[in-house]
Amino acid sequence: GQNIDQPTEMTATEGAIVQINCTYQTSGFNGLFWYQQHAGEAPTFLSYNVLDGLEEKGRFSSFLSRSKGYSYLLLKELQMKDSASYLCAVRDQVFQKLVFGTGTRLLVSP
Amino acid sequence: EPEVTQTPSHQVTQMGQEVILRCVPISNHLYFYWYRQILGQKVEFLVSFYNNEISEKSEIFDDQFSVERPDGSNFTLKIRSTKLEDSAMYFCASSQGWSSGTNEQFFGPGTRLTVL
């Protein structure tokens, strides 16, 4: 079966750092993706991990541990525009479907 | 920057009617997908399409659903007889399909389908 868990909601203040965790149990694994989704809009790609370790991309970093079935997305220097849902998704085979978690709604306050 | 486009942005239909949702994937992409997101719920995979045929489909994608690539640019999702529970945002996505690299899926802006 496919199971991807994320916290439902998180809050943080502008300028702070927040870590959004994701745990997964899937039948196959060919990469873990993080997408950002503003309300009523399409998901937009943030980051990708297929090997263990940290990938850094500006204010955003993502970490993967395949043995633990665990990933996190780290957002630094939070801005108000970072208020959105953050979706963890696993690709089970190359070029195939993404299996999404329920998403974590992040609210950034002044 | 190239993007996936979808039309219409909002479709309202009566239960039992047929609807066709349209998508134009990014031009050099080879893999195409439909997902849906019921309000307040997670994004769910419906179907993937490659080389003019379905490569994978979910249990949601039953006989009421079909996909087509009628020409070199459009990719459509048809729902033959809509049900109330088909009300959702439908996202089209595409990916390059190269053998190396991220091959992330790029999502269109979505079509909000409302079945009355």
B111 to each of B9, B50, B77, how far by Cα in Å?
5, 22, 11
The yes-or-no verdict on residue A89 having pLDDT over 90 is yes
pLDDT in tens, A2-51: 899 999 999 999 999 999 999 999 888 889 999 999 998 999 999 999 99
> Do the Cβ atoms of A97 and B33 come within 8 Å?
yes
pLDDT in tens, A53-74: 999 999 999 999 999 999 999 9
DSSP A19-80: EEEEEEE-S--S-EEEEEE-TTS--EEEEEESSSEEEEETTEEEEEETTTTEEEEEE-S--G
Return d(Cα A64, Cα A75) in angstroms, integer: 15
- The A-side interface with B (CB below 8 A) comprises 31, 33, 35, 40-45, 48, 87, 89, 94-103
> Do the Cβ atoms of A48 and B104 come within 8 Å?
yes
Handedness of CA A4, A26, A58, A42 (dihedral sign): negative
**Which of A31, A48, A87 is closest, CB to CB, to B43?**
A87
Provide the mean pLDDT of chain B. 93
Q: pLDDT at position B98, please?
A: 62
Which residue from A minimizes the CA distance to B33?
A: A97
Q: pLDDT at position A1, please?
A: 67
The yes-or-no verdict on residue B100 having pLDDT over 80 is no
